[in-house]
Structure 1
Amino acid sequence: MAKHKVVVIGDLFPSARESLEQKCDLVIWDKPERIPQELLYDWIQTAEGLFSRGDIKVDEELLSRAPHLRVVAQASVGYDNIDIDFCTKRSIPFGNTLGVLVEATADLTFGLVLTSARRIHEGWNFVKEGKWVGRKNIPYGVDLYGKTLGIVGMGSIGAAVARRANAFGMNVIYHNRKIRQDHNELSANYVDFSELLTESDFLVVLVPLSPSSRHLFGEEQFKKMKSSAYFINASRGPVVDTKALYNALIHQEIAYAALDVTDPEPINHDHPLLSLPNVLITPHIGSATIETRTKMAELTVENILAGLERKPLPACVNNQVNY
């Protein structure tokens, strides 16, 4: 029996690769840079499955060149690079990894809160550079206990961040499209967006990228925040107007920014943000633990194999075409 042809963009953990290779012939682009578009077009012509990556635009142009494609899956929760409507129009189910990376991303997000508040990375640099000669001139941070943590986007990850903040004695407020029915259990109070901006000592962004959330944080929003506020973005880079954030930091409209995502991404080493002392940036590592990335890869493989066999995907975004 002939094997299914699957295009894989990105590295595969050995267990996930082995599972796919048992039933599929793979063509793999495992380089960190984006696959050349013409090469992708060539590969996709005969592909039945696509294991995608966030830097690939799965749109009408790409899908129109893939007459045999049965399924697209991606090892991520977000899918702003995927044209879901056109996938649905083509009756192609799209699978993501919803739920798998909640705790790892919440750990990283709250880690950015704690690290930036207590200047942990700056303390390490202070020691490494030989500046630690006594108790004077050490980096001073701020307390978390008793401070207000505001969360924009109170989904599963937001709820997990709220639980961590509770353990540190923080007051939690949030803004969401809908009030959570369990917010009392999370010791979190719903507020409108404007109040969240003005009341938060630490403001965490966890919204998905959409037309309505693009540049949700710009000049107007930063001006409303406390001058002592810490801004943490662990969602998507374009949710923030990068120039407005830079100006807010240099004009001391906010105190600090800790980012796991940027716009552009990756951020250039000579970008003006990197010249500021009140910025911490990590390279989009929210889900980057061995355990979580393994689970994400395995679920993506399960989605691919189910789609190839025309069975329901375990985690499907466009369920109306889920076999």
Structure 2
Amino acid sequence: MQNKQKVLVSAPLADDLLGRIEAEYDVVTLPSSTVLTAETVGEHADIVGWLTTVKQPVTASVLAELPSLKTVSNYAVGYDNIEVPAATERGVQICNTPGVLDDAVAALTVGAVLNAVRGLSRAERFVRAGQWVAGNPFPLTTDVHGKTVGILGLGRIGKKVAPVLHALGMDVTYHNRTPIDGEVPGDARYVSRDDLFAQSDVVIVLVPLDASTAGSIGAAEFAAMKESAFFVNPARGTLIDEPALVDALRSGAIAGAALDVMTTEPLPAEDPLMTLENVVLLPHIGSATVETRCAMADLAVQNLLDTLAGEQPKGAVNELKVGASA
């Protein structure tokens, strides 16, 4: 009997999903916290597939140690952990899990806006601390209806967020590199990037992380915002100059923020963000629902199996060169 080819799984998978891979391949599993480097990945040099998470850097030097590798399937939408050009050059198909988490992240984003503007987390802490007593009402917050929300990056998730916020009475604006042709959800109006930061009462960041966007939101953007404005980031922490955000929150340059992502995760107890009352801190839970994570895992497995079977995966990130081979 011919030996099965090897697949490495360093992402959390339910037994039934793992079983789908094991039915066709010899599977080696590693904890998702394991980080393989060019020096340590060599013991898996014969793998043909790798299902992993964004916590695992798949660099050119790592890829060079995996001569048989045909695909890397990321259990995530983001893939900035992978050097895609190097993978493409080697004929390695890169896959992600787009679409299946859009609804969950959109719902969290709307919740984060309401939390920041209406002070929901602060109000809950107020009650639990026993401060809600006669003669000591919770401080007034502000309405969302009648306000302007600016969405930086009106993609799949933004297009779900826009109509919900519009239904709550918000004027929705957006900025993409190029305006969207045709009808835009939520009657969203295109504005320049500068105007989005200057005119919005709430700024939501939904751009992908790449070389052009990393660290692209900093002191200049926060200085341009209204003192009454709120900043919401459910995308990636490293899109932001975090010390500049801390300075803006401390100084009152902006009213508050809601973050589901940070530069360092988990957020260290000594991080300056932990000391600020005007920021809502969430533990990167945009896609953290049972249904969404199951759908993500299912798609990641299907991407892996489809690619190795010579079929086009649904979540293909790169277009391989004709004749390229791993």
State the TM bucket, normalised to the shorter chain.
over 0.9
Amino acid at match of 1:136: N
Equivalent in the alignment of 2:59: 59
- Deviation at 1:319? 2.5
- Deviation at 1:103? 0.8
Seen in structure 2, the aligned counterparts of structure 1 residues 276 and 183 have a Cα distance that, compared at 3 Å, is farther
- Deviation at 1:142? 1.6
* Distance in 2 of aligned mates of 1:137 and 1:211: 47
Equivalent in the alignment of 1:18: 19
Equivalent in the alignment of 1:83: 83
- Calculate the TM-score normalised by the size of structure 1: 0.94
* Distance in 2 of aligned mates of 1:20 and 1:30: 17
CA contact (8 A) 1:73 1:96 kept: yes
- Deviation at 1:186? 2.9
1:201-212 to 2 correspondences below 5 Å:
201-212=201-212
Q: What secondary structure sits across from 2:164 in the alignment?
A: helix
Amino acid at match of 1:314: K
Seen in structure 2, the aligned counterparts of structure 1 residues 179 and 38 have a Cα distance that, compared at 3 Å, is closer
- Calculate the TM-score normalised by the size of structure 2: 0.94
CA deviation string 1:65-89 (max 9, x = no partner): 1011111111211111111111111
Which stretch shifts more, 59-68 or 265-274?
Answer: 265-274
Amino acid at match of 1:96: N
Q: What secondary structure sits across from 1:108 in the alignment?
A: helix
* Distance in 2 of aligned mates of 1:162 and 1:236: 19
Seen in structure 2, the aligned counterparts of structure 1 residues 229 and 34 have a Cα distance that, compared at 3 Å, is farther
* Distance in 1 of aligned mates of 2:71 and 2:142: 49
Equivalent in the alignment of 1:272: 272
Seen in structure 2, the aligned counterparts of structure 1 residues 36 and 316 have a Cα distance that, compared at 3 Å, is closer
Amino acid at match of 2:125: N
CA contact (8 A) 1:7 1:43 kept: no
1:196-275 to 2 correspondences below 5 Å:
196-275=196-275
CA contact (8 A) 1:174 1:191 kept: yes
* Distance in 2 of aligned mates of 1:194 and 1:85: 32
Seen in structure 2, the aligned counterparts of structure 1 residues 195 and 259 have a Cα distance that, compared at 3 Å, is same
Q: Does 1:28 pair with 2:29?
A: yes
Q: What secondary structure sits across from 2:41 in the alignment?
A: helix
CA contact (8 A) 1:119 1:139 kept: no
CA contact (8 A) 2:49 2:71 kept: yes
Equivalent in the alignment of 2:5: 4
Give 4+ residue runs of structure 1 displaced > 4 Å after superposition: none
CA contact (8 A) 2:92 2:320 kept: no
Q: What secondary structure sits across from 1:150 in the alignment?
A: strand
CA contact (8 A) 1:70 1:93 kept: yes
CA contact (8 A) 1:29 1:35 kept: no
CA contact (8 A) 1:72 1:94 kept: yes
- Deviation at 1:255? 0.6
CA contact (8 A) 1:93 1:317 kept: yes
CA deviation string 1:104-140 (max 9, x = no partner): 1101111100111121122222222222223633143
* Distance in 2 of aligned mates of 1:206 and 1:279: 18
CA contact (8 A) 1:6 1:26 kept: yes
- Deviation at 1:2? 2.9
- Deviation at 1:40? 4.9
Equivalent in the alignment of 1:315: 315
C-alpha RMSD of the superposition: 1.8
* Distance in 2 of aligned mates of 1:163 and 1:92: 38
Which stretch shifts more, 217-226 or 39-48?
Answer: 39-48
* Distance in 2 of aligned mates of 1:23 and 1:40: 26
1:140-179 to 2 correspondences below 5 Å:
140-179=140-179
CA contact (8 A) 1:93 1:321 kept: no
Equivalent in the alignment of 1:98: 98
Q: What secondary structure sits across from 2:149 in the alignment?
A: strand
Seen in structure 2, the aligned counterparts of structure 1 residues 195 and 310 have a Cα distance that, compared at 3 Å, is same
CA contact (8 A) 1:105 1:157 kept: yes
Amino acid at match of 1:249: L
CA deviation string 1:220-252 (max 9, x = no partner): 111000001100011111110001001111111
Amino acid at match of 1:14: D
Runs of 5+ unmatched residues, structure 1: none
Count of residue pairs the alignment pairs up: 322
- Deviation at 1:64? 0.6
* Distance in 1 of aligned mates of 2:19 and 2:303: 15
